[in-house]
A and B are shown apart, each in its own frame.
Chain A
Amino acid sequence: MKRKEVPQQNAKAFMGHSKLLYAQDEQGNYVRAPSSGWEAEEIVLDQAIAEYERQARDAWQRAHEGLASTLEYHMFRERMDLVLLAQSTGFLKWRVRRHLKPGAFQKLSVRCRERYADALGKTPAQLDRLPAQP
């Protein structure tokens, strides 16, 4: 890539920052070349974030209808999934899967709730609540 071809498409996700690429100048020497964003990166980043949003929305709906625990919503809201939540709490996957159901989560001990709260960066009380909007 030539330095003048380095994309400068002001990605909104960068919030005014730039990232560093390496590119060749007119003489073919490699130089450090900041980029303010690229169409390809923006598309796939938006796609990944939209997928988290979709999961969080679906989970919010399920929790609202009483089909899932509020934990599932908060898990997706914090950009996690079952595997990641299991890894970051140290619980086995089947236990986390159980806790994503409303009944099991309600009966959970204070200590287990704290582990979830800690992994998701929330207080145990926040885990119980659903926001008015997903």
Chain B
Amino acid sequence: MNAFVHTSDDIEIPFAHQQSAHCESGAIASLLRHAKLSISEPMAFGISSGLSYAYLPFLKFGGLPLFAYRMPPGQVIRGLTKRLGIKMHFERFRQPDAGMLALDHHLYEGRVVGIQTSAYWLTYFPPDMRFHFNAHNLVVYGRRGNNYLISDPVIDILVECEAGALKKARFTRGVLAPKGLLYYPAFIPEQIDLPAAIRKAIRFTTGMMLYTPVPILGVRGIRLVSRKIRKLDTRKQHQNKLLLGHIVRMQEEIGTGGAGFRFLYASFLQEASGVLRKPELAGIANQLTEVGDEWRRFALHAAKMCKDRMPMDYGLLADQLMHCATAEENIYRLLRTELK
């Protein structure tokens, strides 16, 4: 250990924990609220242009391709703070010990910080929910003895994690390796132009969903996956079930707020309609909610088919996805005309 150590003292910085649907938008929203900038999770997610759809067959997880319903990790924090003119302080570390010391140092100075970790080594996660995902985000607000006091955005209560486990979680190697990433808002402007940020964000998201040049992103990506599901080889039932289960997990289980972030985004549109004084947006939010319900029905059918509680029917699932694609395309076009 190094010279300046404050580890003997317990530290607890008062912090208001609020459970969120998604780790990254939850962590940054609660850090900003702690810095007296009141912002909801849906607002943070929407302004960062977090919503997306991507089918990435070249990134394999357990041999299965990646299906993403949002932009890559890091986009929420970077996108949100850039659009609002907030300056973030980021630190990464080569040496795990240096990273832990820096964390202690920030806590000692009374600073609550967000950190990136792997979800697998966090001991407070229920065992069945622990998977190797390196871009989990959480907030550390204190230290008691050898335990860190943690406000994990996706967990309903405050939790603690032992220093060794937290160190391991912060310094896993591999894809999206956190490298001990630690962050906090360093500067928040007095005046924030929320309406302008919202308009920009919606234009970016709708543009990306509608006019992507590659067939694996946005609405085209949804259609591609629909065609893939329709053409699945009926003889490889076990493999197909794993694939469908994987899709449903990416859509529902991995902290999306339901329907692969569609409900979160609908909530954002509803809030935005008040800020922009455009009641039309609230109507569009309702339409997006209906699409979200269709995504949920797709998930339920796919899951039941995996478990043989429903006869396997790739055509039905493909039709549902096609329906989602068409409805979303319509919604994004409407949004663009509203914000002309």
Residues of A within 8 A of B (CB): 1, 12-15, 17-24, 28-30, 32, 34, 38-41, 43-45, 47-49, 51, 78-81, 83-84, 87-90, 119, 121
Q: Does B85 contact A (CB under 8 A)?
A: no
| A47 and B242 in contact, given A1-B263, A81-B63 (Cβ under 8 angstroms) | yes
- Interface centre among A13, A40, A83, by most B CB within 10 Å? A40
Q: Does B173 contact A (CB under 8 A)?
A: yes
Find out whether the CB atom of B121 lies under 8 angstroms from the CB atom of A40: no
| A1 and B293 in contact, given A13-B128, A22-B21 (Cβ under 8 angstroms) | yes
In angstroms, Cα B296 to Cα A48, docked, is 19
| A15 and B174 in contact, given A22-B21, A22-B257 (Cβ under 8 angstroms) | no
In angstroms, Cα B173 to Cα A48, docked, is 23
Find out whether the CB atom of A79 lies under 8 angstroms from the CB atom of B120: yes
Find out whether the CB atom of A88 lies under 8 angstroms from the CB atom of B174: yes
Per-position binary interface string of chain B over residues 153-193, scored 1 when its CB falls under 8 Å from any chain A CB and 0 otherwise: 01111000000000010001111000000000000000000
Find out whether the CB atom of A88 lies under 8 angstroms from the CB atom of B249: no
Find out whether the CB atom of B21 lies under 8 angstroms from the CB atom of A44: no
Q: How far is the CB of B114 from chain A (nearest CB, A)?
A: 18
Find out whether the CB atom of A21 lies under 8 angstroms from the CB atom of B258: yes
Q: Does B322 contact A (CB under 8 A)?
A: no
Q: Does B306 contact A (CB under 8 A)?
A: yes
Number of A-B contacts (CB under 8 A): 128
Question: What are 25 residue pairs bridging A and B, where the CB atoms are less than 8 Å apart in the complex?
Answer: A1-B258, A1-B259, A13-B129, A19-B156, A19-B255, A20-B20, A30-B42, A30-B266, A30-B267, A34-B19, A39-B304, A40-B252, A40-B300, A41-B252, A43-B245, A43-B303, A43-B306, A44-B245, A44-B252, A44-B253, A44-B306, A47-B306, A48-B246, A83-B60, A88-B174
Q: Does B264 contact A (CB under 8 A)?
A: yes
Find out whether the CB atom of B289 lies under 8 angstroms from the CB atom of A1: yes
In angstroms, Cα B64 to Cα A61, docked, is 25
For A51, the chain B residues whose CB sits under 8 A away are 62, 242
Find out whether the CB atom of B300 lies under 8 angstroms from the CB atom of A18: no
In angstroms, Cα B63 to Cα A18, docked, is 30
Q: How far is the CB of A115 from chain B (nearest CB, A)?
A: 10
In angstroms, Cα B106 to Cα A95, docked, is 41
Find out whether the CB atom of A79 lies under 8 angstroms from the CB atom of B63: no
In angstroms, Cα B300 to Cα A1, docked, is 14
For B213, the chain A residues whose CB sits under 8 A away are none
Find out whether the CB atom of A49 lies under 8 angstroms from the CB atom of B128: yes
Q: Does B30 contact A (CB under 8 A)?
A: no
In angstroms, Cα B26 to Cα A19, docked, is 13
Q: Does B81 contact A (CB under 8 A)?
A: no
Q: How far is the CB of A57 from chain B (nearest CB, A)?
A: 16
For B293, the chain A residues whose CB sits under 8 A away are 1
Find out whether the CB atom of A45 lies under 8 angstroms from the CB atom of B253: yes
The 3 closest A-B pairs by CB, nearest first: A87-B174, A30-B267, A40-B303
Find out whether the CB atom of A18 lies under 8 angstroms from the CB atom of B258: no
For A21, the chain B residues whose CB sits under 8 A away are 21, 257-258, 263
Q: Does B87 contact A (CB under 8 A)?
A: no
Q: How far is the CB of A75 from chain B (nearest CB, A)?
A: 11
Find out whether the CB atom of B270 lies under 8 angstroms from the CB atom of A47: no
Q: How far is the CB of B19 from chain A (nearest CB, A)?
A: 5
Find out whether the CB atom of A47 lies under 8 angstroms from the CB atom of B155: no
**Contacting A22 at CB < 8 Å: which of B42, B60, B173, B307?**
B42
For B20, the chain A residues whose CB sits under 8 A away are 20
In angstroms, Cα B25 to Cα A22, docked, is 14
For B168, the chain A residues whose CB sits under 8 A away are 121
In angstroms, Cα B174 to Cα A89, docked, is 8
Q: Does B126 contact A (CB under 8 A)?
A: yes
Find out whether the CB atom of A28 lies under 8 angstroms from the CB atom of B258: no
For A23, the chain B residues whose CB sits under 8 A away are 258, 263
Q: How far is the CB of A51 from chain B (nearest CB, A)?
A: 6
In angstroms, Cα B63 to Cα A119, docked, is 20
Find out whether the CB atom of B19 lies under 8 angstroms from the CB atom of A29: no
